[in-house]
Structure formats: structure tokens, C-alpha cells
Amino acid sequence: MAESRKTIWPLLLPIYLFTLVFVFAPLVYLVVLSFMTRAEVWGAVPRLTLDNYKRILEPLYLRVFAESIRLAVSSTAIILLAGYPFGYFMARMSPRWKKRMMVLLMIPFWTSTLIRLNGWIIVFRSNGVLDKFLMALGLTDRPLKLLYSYPAVLVGMVYALLPYMILSVYSSAEKMDWSLTEAARDLGAGRFQAFVTITLKHTLPGVLSGVILTFIPSMGLFFIADLLGGNKIVLVGSVIQEQLTKGRNLPFAAALSVVLFVLTSLFIALYRRIVHTGEPEGLY
């Protein structure tokens, strides 16, 4: 055992170094920066203070955090509800169709998300594609003013992040041993019971990685809120970006980032707790 650890050490060294330099060091820098004081023109001076964190407690910024969490939770929930069935059924398709679906999923990645979001602006703006369509159908009689609203941002989030959920669920459903589900059916479980007690449990790792891959970005993807929400929807990501560029307040941006980081980690940990230890009562 000790011997094998010794021999594996040189192989792991690059990974440790990489993590140290590119993950750990920036994080430490960020935390340290968040306790410093803003410099006159640009940067920070090493005068330690808690002011940056105190400022986050102002109602204005608390609202921004609440708004961000609300958006992240609801878009992740919608993405999960839409993405799970998609990934699940994709895994049950014939190899030929799997390939086709994979290509369809990859096509959006060929274009920049920014450009694709501009497509949504055309759809959502006043007298845009959606308005014209709804009015032609006689469902509405005047433009809905959907652009620069919460629903528009939500749609943008879901649209941009859905593929990550689909691919995560697909990759774990793909590895699923379907004979287990058959065994459950054979042992007396109905379709739904077999799904909940066996299939769902075996695809949970995919769901978890899908949630992580969508929840974290949806807390921080400021440009979606900027493009589709205008100045009405202000998210933490937008505030951080603004403080960095227009506000030139690096320490405050760092403090916001640290809080965002901690909150996101807390939510993921909470989610893992619920998913791993809690068994849906009555179903199994």
C-alpha cells in the first residue's frame, strides 16, 4: 500500500500543481481581495476591512441575491423537468437515432450563445415574432411586452442551459442496466413504481451533475439577464461585472463573488442531502 502510493505520487503531481495554481490560488486571492480596501483609481490597497461584506447586507444587494436565487432555482427546476425525460428517452432510442439526436443537441454549440440570445430578442420584442404569431391566432390583441421581463430571462436561461442537463441525464441513463427495471417489473412493481425505485435511483448521479451544471451558471450568467432582462432584472452576476468594470471596485466585486460561491455551494450541498438520504415515502 505504502509502496504503491510512493509510485503513484509523481503521476499525481501535475494534477496537484494544476489545481493549486489554477483553482486554489485564484480562490485564495479572491477571498483575500474581498477583505481589502478599494484603491483610489484602480485595484486594491492592503488595508483589511469588513466593509465590503457589510455593504452586501444593504437591502439593494440582498434583493439582488434573492432575485438571483429565485431565477436559478426556477430555471434549474424547469430544466430538470424538461431535460430528464428528454435524456431518458434518448438513452432508450436505437443507436442510429441516438446519433441523430446527439447531432441535433450539438448544433446550437456551433454558434455563440450571445448570437443565439439575440435571436430570442427578435422573438420577444414588442411586435416581434411571438407577438405577431399570437395576434395572428387571435389569442392576444396587443403586444405583450415580453422582452425585458422575468419570463424572458427565464426562457433564455432554460434555453442556454438545457443541453447540459439532457447530456448529463443521457450519459447516466445510457449506462443503466435495463434488466434491473425488468426485474423490478417481474417482481411486482408497476411501471411507475419500477421507475421510481430503480430507474430514477440509478440515473440520480446524472441528475446531480445536470443540476450542478445548470444551477451554478444560472446564478452567474449575467449576459442573459442583461440581454433579455434589460435593466429590470439585475442578477448577482451583473452586479459583479458592473463593479469590476464601471464601478472599478475590485474588493467589493470579490466579496460578492465569495458570497455567491458560498451560497451556490450551500445549495448544491442541500440538494445532495435531500436526494441522497431522503427516500420518497410510500413509493419505496
Partner 1 sequence: MVVFNLTQFSGKELTALPENGRIPRNLVGIGGRINTVSDTILELKKIKKSFGGNTVLNGLDISIGRGEFLTLLGASGCGKTTTLRIIAGLEQPDGGDILLDGESILSKEPNRRNVNTVFQNYALFPNMNVEKNIGYGLKIRKRPKEEIRRRVKEMLEMVQLPGFEKRMPDELSGGQRQRVAIARAVINQPQVLLLDEPLGALDLKLRRQMQLELKRLQKKLGITFIYITHDQEEAINMSDRIAVMRNGVFEQIGTPNEIYDHPETSYVADFVGNANIYRTPDKTYAIRSENILLGGEPECMIPAVVEEKSFAGGQLRILFALEDGQKITASRYGIDYDLNTGERIAIGWKEASAAEVIDNG
Strands (E) across the chain are located at 37-38, 44-45
116 or 202: CB nearest partner 1: 202
Which of 55, 116, 125, 185 is in the footprint of partner 1 by CB under 8 A?
185
86 or 195: CB nearest partner 1: 195
Q: With left for phi above 0 and alpha for psi between -120 and 50, is residue 127 left, alpha or beta?
A: left
138 or 188: CB nearest partner 1: 188
121 or 180: CB nearest partner 1: 180
Min dist CB 60 to partner 1, Å, is 47
Q: Are strands 44-45 and 37-38 parallel, antiparallel or unpaired?
A: antiparallel
198 or 219: CB nearest partner 1: 198
51 or 182: CB nearest partner 1: 182
| Intra-chain end-to-end CA distance of the chain, in Å | 41
CA distances in angstroms from 178 to 6, 74, 172, 173, listed in the order given: 41, 31, 12, 9
Which of 186, 262, 266, 276 is in the footprint of partner 1 by CB under 8 A?
186
Min dist CB 204 to partner 1, Å, is 10
Contact present, 229 and 149 (Cβ < 8 Å) = yes
Per-residue contact flags (x/-) with partner 1 for residues 95 to 134, judged by CB under 8 A: ----------------------------------------
Which of 57, 115, 187, 274 is in the footprint of partner 1 by CB under 8 A?
187
180 is an interface residue for partner 1 by CB under 8 A: yes
191 is an interface residue for partner 1 by CB under 8 A: yes
Min dist CB 210 to partner 1, Å, is 19
* Residue 195 grid cell: 421507475
Sole residue written with cell 447516466 = 172
Which of 198, 213, 225, 250 is in the footprint of partner 1 by CB under 8 A?
198
- Contact segment (CB under 8 A) with partner 1 among 145-153, 182-190, 223-231, 247-255 equals 182-190
93 is an interface residue for partner 1 by CB under 8 A: no
In sequence order, the β-bridge partners of residue 37 are 45
Rounded Cα distance between 118 and 180, Å, is: 45
In degrees, to the nearest 5, what angle opens at C-alpha 247 toward C-alphas 243 and 253?
A: 25
Min dist CB 194 to partner 1, Å, is 8
Sole residue written with cell 474581498 = 34
Contact present, 224 and 237 (Cβ < 8 Å) = no
Return the sign of the alpha-carbon dihedral for residues 149, 155, 159, 165: positive
Min dist CB 30 to partner 1, Å, is 38
* Residue 145 grid cell: 411586452
51 or 177: CB nearest partner 1: 177
Sole residue written with cell 446519433 = 99
* Interacting residues toward partner 1 by CB under 8 A: 177, 179-180, 182-191, 193-194, 197-198, 201-202, 284
